[in-house]
Structure 1
């Protein structure tokens, strides 16, 4: 397993250990972030969809920070939404806030029927800055 390592945010939520997956893997100058849901510290989602979407982006931000990267380094995101019509206004607000005027990452947004009790998930591929690679 040389050439790759796991990146953990400073304050990981409970789901990583509960379900046995890595928040992100750094390899060959890239960071592959697992799908981030709007999980609070205990692994549960908030009731409010806007808060859930914001928290998912916050969880991704924590991983980026732990890897020495930022949203400016994200090259590709995949968004999963149980109800795209309900989630997309919150998602577009977060994309504008996190990525600014661009360049923005490539984006794929399939609808989903199951996200383990969550309604939104964001997965990212990041080209790490040389100092973080």
Structure 2
């Protein structure tokens, strides 16, 4: 049995690239990934939100791959943004680009006043589940 991701009747459709509900099938291995930020291996942080978002997803994909998982195994995303009003449209574009049309995990976006470093604009944590 695979993970079930869907939007139940009686709930308005999602506004972005996500689903309202994700259910992990019994017996699946679950990975809880700490929040990842747009900081490169050398410690540099791109100024542009889009560049930070793409870097975050590269890091998340590497973490998933190191655990024999991929983006299709993601069931939940929590997104922290320092300027949601300015950057939400860009985030939706990057999510659609990275996740493709079929991967729409349950997601929550949270506006925050700051992240761990002042240059950071975005942090994403996720939960993934896979058989085995």
TM-score relative to the length of structure 1: 0.72
For 2:31, what is the secondary structure of its paired residue? strand
CA distance in 2, matches of 1:82, 1:61: 23
Q: Deviations over 1:43-84 (max 9, x none)?
A: 331112210111111111110111111110000000000001
Q: CA RMSD in A?
A: 1.4
CA distance in 1, matches of 2:54, 2:103: 21
Say if 1:129 and 1:45 are closer, same or farther in 2 by CA, change over 3 A.
farther
What is residue 6 of structure 2 aligned with on the other side? none
What is residue 57 of structure 1 aligned with on the other side? 57
- More relative contact order in 1 or in 2 (CA 8 Å, sep 6+)? 2
Q: What 5-or-longer segments of structure 1 have no aligned partner?
A: 1-27
What is residue 96 of structure 2 aligned with on the other side? 96
Q: Which aligned pairs between 1:11-22 and structure 2 lie closer than 5 A?
A: none
For 1:29, what is the secondary structure of its paired residue? strand
Are the equivalent residues in 2 in contact too, given 1:73–1:129 (CA < 8 A)? no
Are the equivalent residues in 2 in contact too, given 1:87–1:120 (CA < 8 A)? no
Q: Which aligned pairs between 1:1-133 and structure 2 lie closer than 5 A?
A: 29-117=29-117, 118-130=120-132
Paired residue total: 103
TM-score relative to the length of structure 2: 0.72
CA distance in 2, matches of 1:129, 1:55: 27
Q: Deviations over 1:100-123 (max 9, x none)?
A: 222410000010111112110110
CA distance in 1, matches of 2:54, 2:70: 16
CA distance in 2, matches of 1:94, 1:68: 23
Q: Could you tell me how far 1:98 is from its partner in structure 2?
A: 2.4
